[in-house]
A and B are shown apart, each in its own frame.
Chain A
C-alpha cells in the first residue's frame, strides 16, 4: 500500500532516479574518470572543458570533473551522517519527553526551541573560528543544532500513543520506559522519522555547501561541492571560468531538490495524516 502510494508520486520517482544516478556516479568515480582529484598539474592550469578534461581544470590544474565526483562523496556523507546524528538525538529526547511528560518534557522542549533558533552557520563561525574547521566538527554541529525537528515529531507521536489502550495496558502490566520505547514508540514513529531524516539529509547537504563555501567546513585540497565554489569569490573566475563553479552549484541544487521530492513522496506514502 505504502509502496503504491509512493509510486503514484511522479516527482518522488524522478527524485529517486536522480539520486541513484548521483550516488552511483560518486561511488563509481574511479570508473568514470581516470583523473586523480587531488593531483596538481601546473602545466594544465585553468583549462576550459575538453575531451581530456570534461569540465576543464582548476587553478592548480586539477581535473574539475574528477573533483566534482569525489566532492559528491564528501557532501553526501556529511548530509547522511549529520542527519543520522540529528535523528538519533531527536528520537531519544523526543521519546523521553513524550513518555515522561511533566518538567522533563518542558525542559527538553525548551532546549529544543533554543537549539533550533541558533543557525548552524553562525555556530560554526564561532566553533571553527576558535577550534579550527574540520569535517567531524561540522557533522557534530549540524546534528547537535538540527535534532529538534526530529525531536518534536517523535514527541508528538509519543504523546498521542500515551492515550492508546494497548500502551496503557502495557504500562498497567508494569512495562518499563525503555521497553515501551522499543516495542511501542519506535515502530509507531518510524514512518515520520524516516520522512524527517530525509529532509534532514537535504538540509545537511545545503548547510555543508554554505559552510565549506565560506571556508568553515571541508578544507581544501579535499574537494566538496561547497568548497569548489570558494574560488568563485573572484570576479575573473566568475566571468571567465564558469566551468569551475556552475557544476558544483547545480549538483547541490539538483541533489537537494531530489532529496526533498523523495521526502515528500515518503511523507505521502508512510504518513498520510501529515500530507498536505
Chain B
C-alpha cells in the first residue's frame, strides 16, 4: 500500500510538472511583450530602448527560458502567483475567496446528483427493458443532451421573471441575510448543476447494477431464500456502488467545469465566474493561477479515485 501510494503521488507530481511547463509555454506564446505593454506608445522617447532593456533585466526576462521557468515555478510553489492586472490584488487571495462558494455549490450538487441517480439507476436496472427503464433513460439522456446554461436561462425565465419565485443572480440579497434568502438563491444553480451531472451517474449506476445482478452471489442469496428487495439492497447495491464512487471522484473536474457555466449564468461569485471574468479581461496572472489550481484539483481527484477504489473494494490488490 505504501509503495503504491508513493508511486501514484510521484506520477501525479510528474504530470503536474508537465502541465506547468505547458502553461508556462502558452504564457510565453501570448501576444505582446509584458514590458512593452507597460509603456504606452505616446510616452516613448529616445531613452525608452534603454529603459526597456533595464526593465527586462530587472524582471529577469533576459534570462534563458529555463531559468525563467524555474523562477516562476518556485514562486508558484510558495504561493506567489503574482498580481491581477485588473485589480492589482494578489492572485492567491483572489482565488482563495472564490473557493468557498464554488465548493459549496459543487458539493451540494454532487450530493443531490447522487440522490437522483442512485435510485433512478437502480430502478432502471431492476426493471431493465420495461417502462421504468425507458423513462429513466429518457430523463438521463435529456440531462446529458441539454446544455446546462440553456436550462439555467429557461429557469430564470420561468421562475425569476414570469413567476417571480426565485432570484436570478448572486448568493444572497445584499443587506438582508437570512437562511431562506440564501436557500432561494442556491436552489436553481444547485438543481440545474445536479441534474446535468445526474444523467451520467444514472447510466453508470444502471450498468453497474446490471453487471452485479448476474454475479454468482446473487444466485446464492436467491437460493437461500433472500427476498428480491433484500438481494438488491443488501448485496447488489453495495457492490454496484464501488465503481460509482470512483466515477464520482473522477467527475469532480467536470462538475467544476459545469460550475463555471452555471456560475456565469447565475452570477454566482465562485472560481468559474472569476475565470471567465479574467478571460474576458485577458488578466493573465489570474488565468494562470486558475489553471494551476485546477490542475492540482484534477490530479488530486484522480488520486482520490484510485485510493477510494482500493480502500472500498478488498478484491482489488495493490501493486
Interface residues of A (CB under 8 A from B): 110, 113-114, 117-122, 125-132, 202, 206, 209-210, 213-216, 226, 229, 232-233, 235, 238-239, 242, 245, 249, 252-253, 256-257, 260, 276
| Contact residues of B between 1 and 38, Cβ < 8 Å to A | 11, 15, 23, 26-27, 29-31
Of all chain B residues, which has the CB nearest A250?
B150
A215 vs B278: C-alpha distance in the bound complex, in angstroms?
12
In the complex, how many angstroms separate the beta carbon of A268 from the nearest chain B beta carbon?
A: 13
On B, residues with C-beta under 8 Å from A are: 11, 15, 23, 26-27, 29-31, 141-142, 144-150, 153-154, 156-157, 160-162, 168, 206-207, 210, 250, 253-254, 256-257, 260-261, 264-265, 275-276, 278-280, 282-284, 287-288, 290-291, 294-295, 298-299, 301-302
Q: Is the CB of B253 within 8 A of A118?
A: yes
B-side contacts of A131, CB under 8 Å = 26, 29-31
Task: How many A-B residue pairs have C-beta atoms within 8 angstroms? Tell me.
Answer: 125
List 25 contacting pairs A-B, 8 Å CB cutoff, sorted by A.
A114-B15, A114-B302, A117-B250, A117-B302, A118-B295, A118-B298, A121-B260, A122-B275, A125-B275, A125-B287, A126-B291, A129-B283, A130-B287, A132-B31, A202-B145, A206-B145, A209-B149, A210-B148, A214-B279, A215-B276, A216-B279, A238-B153, A238-B157, A239-B162, A257-B142
CA distance A118 to B148 in the complex (A): 19
Q: Are B287 and A249 in contact (CB under 8 A)?
A: no
Contact A210 B210 (CB under 8 A): no
Contacts of B256 in A (CB 8 A): 119, 122
Contact, CB under 8 Å: B260 / A122: yes
How many Å lie between the Cα of A256 and that of B153 in the bound state? 18
Most chain-B Cβ atoms within 10 A of its Cβ — which of A126, A132, A202, A256? Answer: A126
CA–CA, A271 and B257, complex, Å: 32
Chain B residues with Cβ under 8 A from A209's Cβ?
Answer: 147, 149-150
Distance between Cα atoms of A244 and B215 in the complex (Å): 53
Interface contact B26-A206, CB-CB below 8 Å: no
CB of B314 to closest CB in A, whole Å: 24
